[in-house]
């Protein structure tokens, strides 16, 4: 080791100024020239000393650590800071100290961690070898961070500087962290702003935009470039006005008022498009202003609706209260009793009527009273005698278990009937209604009875009979018969007409009584209407059982009745039809009995007849005839034939009787005897008769002056009040002189409603028409009829004329009638004169006219014309019969 480090101060000075100019000299190798130079240095020593002192002070007071190493990795120079930074003394780093020793110290003292001495030395060598300045930071075991710079020197050594940057590092780290936090917050704020439902705007004190969010721009349709920071509030408002956000035209006013509001305020802004925006303004401490905008259109609408609903609710409430009152009133004024029970069959409520029906006091029907308690009260009131409360409650509960609507009638012990409905409620409770139907039931029974019974006799009527017959037929066992007896009284009409309706009614009651005595309990007697009765005889085994009863009925009803002290004799005919299980419907059985009755009456009164098959056939034939007859008039199938009648005093024809004929397309010429009775029965006689009248008048009007025409009238035609008008019209239309028309009526006309009939006869008479009594002697033949009306003519029935030669009775009648007529100044016509003897007799007996085949049969009108009238016209005189 040489004294090359002789002047420590000088070396230190050199290293500190400029590494490139410092020359570290080895005295042994230094050339002579350089030694001369040193001498020169020493000459300027006092100069250098001063500079060294300054450098020394500078190096020692450097903040950085500084050291210079030579190519052998030994310290050339190091300042105090260099040692101190690594926990060493200046002695530890004095010139000549090997780098290894320094590093070893650092590693062993824990200042260098995570590395080895060799590693550190190796890296150092590498850096120096690079020949360029390199920097690195190293973290110390004690947490400090030291920034190291290495500046290699051309001689293989290096200068290194060390600076403790721990504090700087820490500061910059915390700064970074703060920055990051700020950035995060910024981001969050941004997100919050953009995701706000409200629009948000902030202005600074100069009313310039600081920030606003998208929502704000969207609300007012502002473009992004219209809301850049710095834009004035005024400008933004202008844009909003320009977008037509406001309805107002006064933008000046709007602009003026926009900023001048109260300190903090919230107000509603109504936009032109109907939106409502709630604007909240907050003055900021820095003189700026924060505004939030919220579209509350929907909320406003909801609020309005809510208000509406609220009002509605209140209205409903009021209504409900009113309804409750009404309901209460209704409940207590109901005709029906009403009671409501809960699931435990405890009373919830009941009305006044309910209490009345069951005689319950208000105390007894308090809310919560059990069903059983109510029943007990009812029993105490004697309404449910013979039953225990348990029985009744059990029955009720069983009924209510089905949980469906139910209706039944409860019969109370006091005779009242209560109709009860049980209606389960949704909540498990029950509503019951109670109606006293006692009276209604009585009325119903009465109505039912009336519907099925004849009021006068109290007998079942046709409906009930039919019902019972149907049952009887359905029930009857094999071999059992049911007999239906139809009967109608003979001469009942006569009794009614002569003794009055009251007497008739009495008679009908007595008939009912007698019939009752004849039949068994199981049989049924019915009044079918008028003087018609029916008896249903059940459980008989043979037809003879029916005839026995029929015979007894006839016998019983034939014996005289005493009515109001008068002896009245009626009689009856009976038609019987037998029914058995297989034999037809009740209607059929009754119709058969009717047919049998019809036959019985036809066969002479006071008899019974069983229904026979031919009756049915006859009935069908009749029906066919009826159908044909209905078509005859519209089909113009009728014609009139005329039979002359002759005045016996002059032997001249005084007129012709019109006799109707039916020219049927299949049946041929049908005589009136076949169809007139049917036409009368079915009422068709009225139009047919009218046709005959008009036709006869029309024909007779063509005949010579004085020649009469006689037209037959049925009793049925007199029931039609239009008859007189028809005749008057026929006369007027034909121009026939009324005195030339003769109407032939029979006694039966006078039998019916004689008052009206007589009135009509007088009316006809007043027209100037002649009235003849036809078929005299066949009916009741009471001479008194002749006195009732002043007939113009009496026609003695053909039957008397026919028998006149053989029967003294007939001769006597002809004689009497002729005499009577002569006395009354009435003409008499003998009908059906077929022989000269007959003619002679009637002439001798004083008849004034004759009519019959002897002189002429009825002939068609043209025949009549040809045979009797042409001739007469030619001669201009009457037709002399005798000639
Ligand atoms: P009627 O009024 O007694 O008429 C006389 C009937 O005796 C006629 O029968 C006639 O042809 C018949 N006759 C006349 N002379 C003789 C005779 O010498 N010997 C016999 N055996 N018979 C003679 P017709 O034409 O068959 O009329 C039967 C009945 O029909 C009439 O009896 C009359 O009651 C009724 N009739 C006829 N035309 C009409 C009419 O237009 N209207 C109404 N309501 N009844 C009519
Ligand atoms: Ca006649
Ligand atoms: Ca006659």
Q: What is the mean pLDDT of residues 503-523?
A: 94
pLDDT at 381 over 50: yes
User: Exposed, middle or buried, 836 (CB in 10 Å: 0-12/13-18/19+)?
Assistant: exposed
> Within its chain, how far is the Cα of 228 from the centroid?
67
Place 254 in a pLDDT band, splitting at 50, 70 and 90: low
DSSP 8-state class, residue 713:
-
Structure-token match 């002897």, residue found: 854
304 C-alpha vs ligand 3 centroid, how far in Å? Answer: 103
How far apart (Å, rounded) are the C-alpha atoms in residues 500 and 512?
19
795 C-alpha vs ligand 3 centroid, how far in Å? Answer: 6
**Rg of the chain over all Cα atoms, to the nearest angstrom:** 74
Strand 849-850 with 827-830, pairing: parallel
pLDDT in tens, 713-725: 999 999 888 999 9
**Alpha-carbon distances of 862 from 572, 702, 867, rounded to whole Å:** 49, 11, 8
Tokens of 680: 């009368």
Q: What is the mean pLDDT of residues 576-581?
A: 79
Q: What is the mean pLDDT of residues 620-630?
A: 90
Q: Is the shortest distance between the CB of 777 and ligand 1 below 6 Å?
A: no
Q: What is the mean pLDDT of residues 243-247?
A: 80
Nearest alpha-carbon partner for 586 in 700, 473, 720, 738: 473
Structure-token match 């905008």, residue found: 293
Please list the alpha-helical segments (H only) found in 646-700. 672-681, 685-700
Q: Is the shortest distance between the CB of 856 and ligand 1 below 6 Å?
A: no
Element (H, E) at 723: helix 723-734
How far apart (Å, rounded) are the C-alpha atoms in residues 844 and 558?
44
Ligand nearest to the CA of 710: 2
Note if the pTM is more than 0.85.
no
Q: What is the per-residue pLDDT for 248?
A: 66
User: How many Cβ atoms sit within 10 Å of the Cβ of residue 725?
Assistant: 11
Place 634 in a pLDDT band, splitting at 50, 70 and 90: very high
Q: What is the mean pLDDT of residues 251-274?
A: 72
pLDDT in tens, 134-153: 998 888 888 899 999 999 99
378 C-alpha vs ligand 1 centroid, how far in Å? Answer: 84
628 C-alpha vs ligand 2 centroid, how far in Å? Answer: 25
**Ligand 1 atom nearest to CA at 711:** 41
Q: What is the per-residue pLDDT for 710?
A: 98
Residue nearest to atom 35 of ligand 1 (CA): 672
Q: What is the mean pLDDT of residues 436-441?
A: 90
Residue nearest to atom 33 of ligand 1 (CA): 712
How far apart (Å, rounded) are the C-alpha atoms in residues 365 and 346?
10
Place 741 in a pLDDT band, splitting at 50, 70 and 90: very high
Instruction: Choose the residue to mutate in 718, 798, 801, 803 for probing ligand 1, maximizing ligand atoms within 8 Å of C-beta.
Output: 798
The neighbouring-strand residues paired with 57 are none
Residue nearest to atom 11 of ligand 1 (CA): 858
| Contacts (Cβ under 8 Å, ≥6 apart) of 6 | none
Q: Is the shortest distance between the CB of 679 and ligand 1 below 6 Å?
A: no
Q: Is the shortest distance between the CB of 697 and ligand 1 below 6 Å?
A: no
Place 23 in a pLDDT band, splitting at 50, 70 and 90: very low
Ligand nearest to the CA of 645: 1
Structure-token match 């070893």, residue found: 104
pLDDT in tens, 291-340: 888 989 988 889 889 999 999 999 999 999 998 888 888 888 888 899 99
Give the dihedral sign, CA 737/740/746/747.
positive
**Alpha-carbon distances of 621 from 254, 400, 550, 615, 633, rounded to whole Å:** 111, 65, 28, 10, 20
Structure-token match 């802004």, residue found: 269
How far apart (Å, rounded) are the C-alpha atoms in residues 589 and 869?
58
Tokens of 578: 């037998």
Q: Is the shortest distance between the CB of 109 and ligand 1 below 6 Å?
A: no
Q: What is the mean pLDDT of residues 813-841?
A: 92
Place 602 in a pLDDT band, splitting at 50, 70 and 90: confident
**Ligand 1 atom nearest to CA at 833:** 18
Nearest alpha-carbon partner for 432 in 497, 362, 375: 375
877 C-alpha vs ligand 2 centroid, how far in Å? Answer: 27
Q: What is the per-residue pLDDT for 671?
A: 93
Strand 276-283 with 158-164, pairing: unpaired
Q: Is the shortest distance between the CB of 689 and ligand 1 below 6 Å?
A: yes
674 C-alpha vs ligand 2 centroid, how far in Å? Answer: 15
Tokens of 287: 């003189």
Place 260 in a pLDDT band, splitting at 50, 70 and 90: low
Nearest alpha-carbon partner for 710 in 655, 765, 750: 655
The neighbouring-strand residues paired with 146 are 138, 164
SS3 sequence of 440-464: HHHHHHHHHHHHHECCCCCCECHHH
What crossing angle do the helices spanning 723-734 and 754-767 adopt, rounded to 10°?
20
How far apart (Å, rounded) are the C-alpha atoms in residues 272 and 248?
9
3-state secondary structure of 562: strand
Residue nearest to atom 21 of ligand 1 (CA): 832
Taking the chain, what is the end-to-end CA distance rounded to the nearest angstrom?
Answer: 220
The neighbouring-strand residues paired with 366 are none
- Across all residues in the chain, what is the average pLDDT? 86
Q: Is the shortest distance between the CB of 640 and ligand 1 below 6 Å?
A: no
Place 402 in a pLDDT band, splitting at 50, 70 and 90: low
Strand 199-203 with 75-78, pairing: unpaired
Q: What is the per-residue pLDDT for 400?
A: 65
Residue nearest to atom 12 of ligand 1 (CA): 832
Place 687 in a pLDDT band, splitting at 50, 70 and 90: very high
pLDDT in tens, 151-161: 999 888 999 99
Ligand nearest to the CA of 744: 2
Percent of the chain at pLDDT exceeding 70: 89
């Amino acid at each position: 080791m040489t004294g090359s480090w002789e002047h420590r101060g000088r070396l230190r000075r050199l290293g500190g100024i400029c590494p490139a100019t410092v020359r570290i000299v080895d005295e042994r190798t230094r050339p002579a020239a350089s030694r001369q130079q040193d001498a020169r240095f020493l000459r300027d020593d006092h100069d250098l000393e001063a500079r060294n002192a300054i450098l020394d002070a500078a190096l020692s007071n450097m903040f950085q650590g500084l050291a210079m190493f030579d190519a052998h990795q030994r310290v050339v120079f190091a300042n105090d800071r260099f040692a101190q930074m690594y926990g060493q003394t200046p002695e530890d780093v004095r010139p000549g100290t090997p780098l290894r020793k320094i590093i070893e110290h650092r590693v062993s003292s824990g200042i260098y961690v995570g590395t080895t001495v060799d590693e550190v030395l190796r890296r150092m060598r590498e850096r120096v070898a690079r020949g360029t300045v390199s920097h690195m930071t190293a973290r110390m075991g004690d947490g400090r961070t030291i920034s190291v710079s290495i500046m290699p020197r051309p001689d293989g050594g290096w200068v290194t500087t060390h600076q403790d940057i721990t504090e700087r590092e820490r500061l910059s780290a915390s700064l970074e962290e703060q920055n990051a936090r700020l950035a995060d917050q910024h981001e969050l704020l941004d997100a919050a702003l953009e995701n706000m439902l409200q629009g948000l705007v902030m202005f600074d004190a100069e009313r310039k935009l600081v920030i606003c969010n998208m929502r704000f721009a969207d609300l007012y349709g502002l473009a992004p470039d219209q809301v850049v920071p710095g834009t004035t509030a005024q400008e933004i408002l202008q844009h909003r006005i320009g977008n037509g956000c406001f309805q107002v035209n006064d933008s000046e006013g709007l602009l003026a008022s926009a900023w001048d509001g109260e300190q903090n305020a919230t107000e509603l802004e109504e936009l032109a498009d109907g939106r409502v925006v709630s604007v909240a303004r907050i003055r900021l401490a820095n003189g700026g202003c924060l505004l939030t905008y919220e579209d509350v259109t929907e909320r406003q609408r909801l609020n309005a609706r809510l208000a509406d609903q609220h009002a509605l609710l209140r209205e409903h409430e009021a209504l409900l209260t009113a309804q409750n009152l009404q309901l209460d009133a209704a409940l207590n004024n109901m005709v029906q009793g009403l009671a409501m029970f809960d699931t435990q069959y405890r009373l919830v409520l009941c009305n006044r009527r309910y209490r009345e029906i069951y005689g319950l006091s208000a105390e007894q029907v308090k809310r919560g009273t059990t069903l059983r308690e109510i029943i007990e009260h009812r029993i105490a009131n004697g309404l449910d005698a013979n039953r225990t409360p348990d029985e009744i409650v059990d029955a009720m509960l069983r009924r209510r278990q089905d949980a469906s609507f139910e209706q039944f009638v409860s019969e109370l012990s006091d005779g009242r009937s209560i109709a009860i409905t049980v209606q389960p409620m949704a909540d498990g409770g029950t509503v019951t209604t109670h109606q006293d139907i006692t009276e209604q039931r009585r009325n119903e029974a009465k109505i039912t009875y009336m519907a099925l019974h004849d009021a006068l006799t109290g007998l079942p009527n046709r409906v009930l009979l039919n019902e019972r017959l149907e049952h009887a037929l359905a029930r009857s066992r094999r071999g059992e018969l049911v007999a239906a007896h139809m009967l109608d009284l003979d001469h009942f009409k006569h009794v009614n007409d002569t003794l009055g309706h009251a007497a008739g009614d009495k008679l009908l009651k007595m008939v009912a009584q007698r019939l009752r005595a004849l039949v068994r309990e199981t049989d049924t007697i019915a009044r079918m209407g008028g003087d018609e009765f029916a008896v249903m005889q059940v459980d008989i085994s043979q037809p003879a059982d029916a005839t026995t009863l029929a015979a007894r009925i006839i016998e019983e009803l034939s014996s005289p009745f005493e009515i109001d002290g008068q002896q009245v004799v009626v009689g009856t005919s009976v038609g019987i039809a037998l029914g058995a299980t297989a034999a037809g419907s009740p209607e059929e059985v009754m119709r058969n009995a009717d047919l049998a009755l019809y036959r019985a009456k036809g066969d002479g009164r006071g008899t019974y007849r069983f229904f026979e098959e031919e009756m049915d056939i006859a009935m069908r034939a009749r029906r066919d005839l009826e159908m044909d007859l209905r078509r005859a008039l519209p089909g113009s199938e009728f014609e009139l034939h005329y039979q002359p009648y002759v005045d016996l005093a002059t032997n001249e024809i005084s007129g012709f009787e019109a006799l109707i004929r039916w020219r049927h397309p299949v049946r041929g010429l049908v005589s009136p005897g076949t169809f007139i009775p049917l036409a009368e029965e079915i009422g068709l006689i009225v139009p047919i008769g009218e046709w005959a009248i008009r036709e006869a008048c029309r024909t007779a009007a063509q005949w010579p002056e004085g020649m009469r025409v006689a037209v037959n009238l049925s009793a049925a035609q007199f029931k039609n009040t239009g008859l007189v008008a028809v005749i008057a019209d026929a006369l007027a239309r034909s121009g026939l002189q009324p005195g030339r028309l003769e109407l032939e009526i029979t006694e039966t006309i006078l039998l019916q409603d004689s008052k009206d009939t007589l009135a009509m006869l007088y009316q006809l008479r007043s027209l100037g028409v002649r009235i003849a009594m036809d078929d005299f002697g066949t009916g009741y033949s009471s001479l008194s009829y002749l006195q009732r009306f002043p007939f113009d003519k009496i026609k003695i029935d053909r039957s008397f004329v026919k028998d006149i030669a053989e029967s003294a009775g007939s001769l006597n009648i002809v004689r009497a009638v002729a005499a009577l007529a002569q006395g009354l100044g009435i003409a008499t016509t003998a009908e059906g004169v077929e022989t000269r003897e007959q003619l002679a007799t009637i002439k001798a007996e004083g008849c004034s006219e004759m009519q019959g085949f002897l002189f002429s049969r009825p002939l068609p009108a043209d025949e009549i014309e040809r045979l009797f009238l042409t001739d007469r016209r030619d001669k201009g005189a009457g037709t002399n019969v005798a000639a």
